[in-house]
Amino acid sequence: MDLSLKVFFVICVLFLLLVASGFLLRMIYQKHLGQNDEGPILVDAPPGNGTKVLFLHHSTGNVIWNAGVREWFEDHNQRNGTDIGLVEQSFPKRSSYGWHNYPYDYWKIWVSNGGEEPYMREPTLEMISKQYDVVVWKHCFPVSKVQADTGEGVANSEKRTLENYKLQYNGLMEKMLQFPNVKFLVWTGAALVEDATTPEEAERASDFFSWVKDDWDRKGDNIYIWDFHELETAGGLYLREEYSRGGGDSHPNDQIAEEVMPYLCQRILDVVEDRADLTSLTGRSDT
């Protein structure tokens, strides 16, 4: 073999060994520290002795968060001498669980697979409750694409039907009540633009969110509601056109994010200060 070819071959082998060793070291790092490209299994709580709030979300929640949630509370703390710290985290993450945050997914992680260890790199309530006083959680807009019931509801099902949603939410309520020292703020689901759904699906979604507010939610416990669906739809079935990004995209735009961000912050504050059963579900003072 020509000397230059031998040198090239050796260089290629060394390069492959270097890549493989780097991959192995990364795997070891992730295993022992619980991290990957999307961050830790559970983000650390804010420092200090104040109230610690965890906001679990995907893209819709991120739009509202980026409108200034953290800054709102920083200003509130400075003006009122309070110590309310918020952090946010994607839940569930893209890996290993996958980018799904519907009733089934919360039920699967927190109810069906609860415990002291994470499930597919997702934190359980047993883990979250050790660090946080308030947990805010939500679903992204595909939750509103609700299919017809079959007459045989099953909690352990990814099929998005009213009967399944209700069983999953009942399981989630039972689980959350096991952590009386933690308060939970649950968003009503994000709406779809009219072109992305059908009237029947939108009606079923509205029926589910009404059930959550009127039947599932109970005064005097540790579970509260923020009625995001009402704010997005103004009491209708669809995301209002002026609040959408256009082109059939059901993500909320900056206009609604700026409008409702203070309402979310007020609702979180109501939960922290133990008056959420007495104030508006939207966080808006005029309702």
150-177 pLDDT per residue, tens: 999 999 999 999 999 999 999 999 999 9
Q: What is the arithmetic mean of pLDDT over 109-130?
A: 97
Whole-prediction pTM value?
Answer: 0.86
Q: What is the arithmetic mean of pLDDT over 244-260?
A: 95
Predicted confidence (pLDDT) per residue in 74-108, tens digit:
999 999 999 999 999 999 999 889 999 999 999 99
Among 20-24, 194-198, 226-230, the range scoring the smallest mean pLDDT is 20-24
- The model's confidence at residue 254, banded by pLDDT at 50, 70 and 90, is very high
pLDDT at 23: 43
| Of 29 and 255, more confident | 255
- The model's confidence at residue 24, banded by pLDDT at 50, 70 and 90, is very low
pLDDT at 232: 97
* Average pLDDT in the chain: 90
- The model's confidence at residue 285, banded by pLDDT at 50, 70 and 90, is confident
**DSSP symbol at 108:** I
pLDDT at 31: 36
Q: What is the arithmetic mean of pLDDT over 257-266?
A: 98
Among 6-15, 138-147, 231-240, the range scoring the smallest mean pLDDT is 6-15
CB contact set of 148 (below 8 Å; sequence gap of 6+) = 161, 200, 204
Pairing of strands 183-187, 223-226: parallel
Q: What is the arithmetic mean of pLDDT over 115-137?
A: 97
Predicted confidence (pLDDT) per residue in 28-81, tens digit:
333 333 334 468 999 999 998 999 999 999 999 999 999 999 999 999 999 999
C-beta of residue 253 within 8 angstroms of C-beta of residue 244? yes
Residue 9 has pLDDT above 80, yes or no: no
Give alpha helix (H) positions in the chain: 3-33, 59-65, 69-80, 103-106, 125-128, 162-176, 199-211, 228-233, 254-272
Three-class SS of residue 176? helix
Residue 26 has pLDDT above 80, yes or no: no
